[in-house]
Structures are given as C-alpha cells and as structure tokens.
Amino acid sequence: MKQITYVNNSIVFGATTLKDTSVPENNNMALHVCLDPEKVMINRYQLSQELNQPLSNWALPWQKHTANIYEVTQKDKQKGAFDKDTSIMNVDAVYTCEKNILIGVFTADCVGIFLVDETKPSICCIHSGWKGTVQAITDKCVKELIQNKIINPKTTKAFFSPSILFDSLEVGMEVIDQIKQLNFDVEPFIRYMPNQKAFIDNQGLNIQMLLNNGLNIDNIYPSKLDTKKELNDCFSFRNDKKTGEHFTYGYIK
C-alpha cells in the first residue's frame, strides 16, 4: 500500500494513504466520494490485510466540515467500514483510547492531522479544510482532549497529511474575514493579492492552534507535499473536482 507511515511501534500505528494510479480508483479510500464503491472496498480490504486489522475493527466518520468531535469505543466498530450510510455522521475529529479500533479521516486538499500520545496511549484524527479551520476544530479538539486527560500536550506528537499548501490555497476575502475571527494573530498565515484574493497557510494555522495548546514544536511534523502540485502522489479536489481522498488513520495495538 502506497502511504506515509508516521509511527509504527509496539504501541501504535499511524499513517496516511497516498494516490496510486496502479490500483483501483487510484487508491481512493473514501466511499462517500468515489466512482465505484466496490473498487474502494478492494483498496480497504488490501489495507486491512497488510495491517492485520480486519474491517470489522474499523470505525469511520462521514465528515461535513464541522467542528464536531467524537470518542470512538468498541460499540462503534464497523461503522462506515463497509457502507458509508453507517458512518459516524457529521463528525470531523475522532479519537480513541481503546486497542484494536482503527479510526481515521479522509482528505484531498484539506489538512488531516494524526495526534498520538503513546504515554496514555491515545490517538486522534482531525479533518480541517478552511471551513474547519475557521471553526477552530483543531483548537477545540485538543482542548477537549487535554481537559479530559486523554492527551498530555507535552508528550503528544502531531503528524500532518499532504494538503494544499500556502503557495496554492487561494481564497476570497470572505474567507479572510472569517479567519480573522480566530483568537490569535493570523496575519503571518495570509498573503494578500491585488485582486481581492489572498493565499492562506491552512497547515500553519492548525500548527499554531497546536502550539497555543502547549504542544512542543519539536513534536509537530508538517507535510511538504502540496496536493495541488504533487499530482503523482496526491488527490486534489481543486485540480480534479471529481477525486478520491487520502486516508489519515491509526490504531492502538
């Protein structure tokens, strides 16, 4: 399986799948955005076999660009694994402290974040496009996890999936107006253009939210893969409109 592996040890596994033109649907993992669900299931079965994590252990959301957060437990196993209509609905961040439950989020140009605190252990997957960012989903999620003692910010690592990066993410001023409502200085993450447009650093905004909640900069791992430019490895809605999605996921062993 073509993917970026972030962590693979005796405690936890975490990774993001990549585009692969040699397999069905270019290695699309998302049932809610696909041409042929059967081909997506072929990819899911392939991944499950490589991981030795049967689909009956998977629990997946159907994201709607919300700031909603959900704790996944044993009762959620199989949700969204075989049928998109059984997904955990209207949720864009999922976390768990339980073993052998595979959780994840789907992204094309949006940011996918894999959080792990091996000292607990606990894992969390966050989906944040600009719509999630202006709702501060990463800030809200990390605050909740810290308050509930699910993670310790000093021992938590954050890995970023490929996403549309600063030089490629052009938005209108209506988006900038929303970004400016965030509770920290966002100007370093905006590059204004003369045509009433601007480029924004969505990855950087989410990194700042992690830093604001006490994560150590040395434990934050940004992605250098720009989905709009890396056509061989990355899905991009802005490029293709009809596109598959990466899968940023993990499980506790």
Nearest to 121 by CA among 151, 159, 77: 151
Tens of pLDDT, residue by residue over 28-46, are 999 999 989 999 999 999 9
pLDDT given at position 11: 98
CB 4 within 8 A of CB 15: yes
pLDDT given at position 145: 98
Q: How confident is the model at residue 237 (pLDDT cuts 50, 70, 90)?
A: confident
| Residue range 168-173: mean pLDDT, rounded | 96
**pTM > 0.85:** yes
Tens of pLDDT, residue by residue over 47-91, are 999 999 999 999 999 999 999 999 999 999 999 999 999 999 999
- Distances from the Cα of 57 to the Cα of 44, 72, 114, angstroms: 12, 11, 18
CB 6 within 8 A of CB 16: yes
CA dihedral (180, 183, 187, 191) positive or negative: negative
Give the Cα separation of 107 and 245 in Å (integer). 5
Residue-averaged pLDDT of the chain: 97
pLDDT given at position 241: 72
Tens of pLDDT, residue by residue over 125-142, are 999 999 999 999 999 999
Domains of the chain, each with CATH number or no CATH: 3-252 (3.60.140.10)
Nearest to 235 by CA among 63, 94, 110: 110
DSSP tag of 15:
E
**Among residues of the chain, what percentage have pLDDT more than 90?**
96
pLDDT given at position 240: 77
> Would you state the structure tokens that stand for residue 89, as one six-digit string?
């609905």
pLDDT given at position 53: 97
Residue 178 neighbours by CB under 8 Å, 6+ apart: 134
